Amino acid sequence: MFYWITLLVVVLDQGTKLWVRLEMTVGQSIPLWDGFQLTYYRNSGAMGSSFEGYGRYFIIPAVLVVFWLVYMLRKGELDGKLLQLGAACFAGGAIGNAIDRAIFGWVTDFIDMGRGISNLADHALNLGILFFVLSAFVVDPWRRRRAKKSIYS
């Protein structure tokens, strides 16, 4: 599951970014509905345009995190579907943005909801973190309580 979801995230991310680069000009906006539009932006930094011009430096941590996630998966530390889903989303997002940084030196952003411009990889990273948090603070405690009850039953 991990590898297929990671691949799906990378393909969707790179496909949408390719479409934006081919069909839009930098700075162009296409309104879709109230509060949501596509705006082509080249981000040479990190999230929120911080560290402008230093985007290539984020390739190394992205690669290290992906290798660490694969290592943890193979070691059996990512037990549970939610944890694996989170790891896959995070890895796919990291790879998607690393590809842009390696090829162009910037990341193609286009999802504009009025609070900054992002891309599918950014949202996959956030979704991955959300799944990690849900696994750690909701699913794992629930499993432990259930296991504890079955011991005493």
Is the CB of residue 150 less than 8 Å from the CB of residue 142?
no
- pLDDT mean across residues, the chain: 89
Q: Alpha carbon of 93 to those of 55, 68, 69: distances in Å? A: 15, 15, 13
60's tokens: 């190394």
What percent of the chain clears pLDDT 70, i.e. is strictly above it?
88
Residue 109 and residue 121: Cα distance in Å, rounded? 9
Encode pLDDT of 89-120 as tens digits.
999 999 999 999 999 999 999 999 988 899 99
Question: Predicted confidence band at 146 (pLDDT cuts at 50, 70, 90)?
Answer: low
Using the predicted structure, report yes or no on whether residue 150 has a pLDDT greater than 70: no
Cα–Cα distance measured from residue 112 to residue 60, given in angstroms and rounded to the nearest whole number: 27
Give me the active site residues, please. Answer: 109, 122
For the chain, the structural domain boundaries read 2-148
**CB of 88 closer than 8 Å to CB of 13:** no
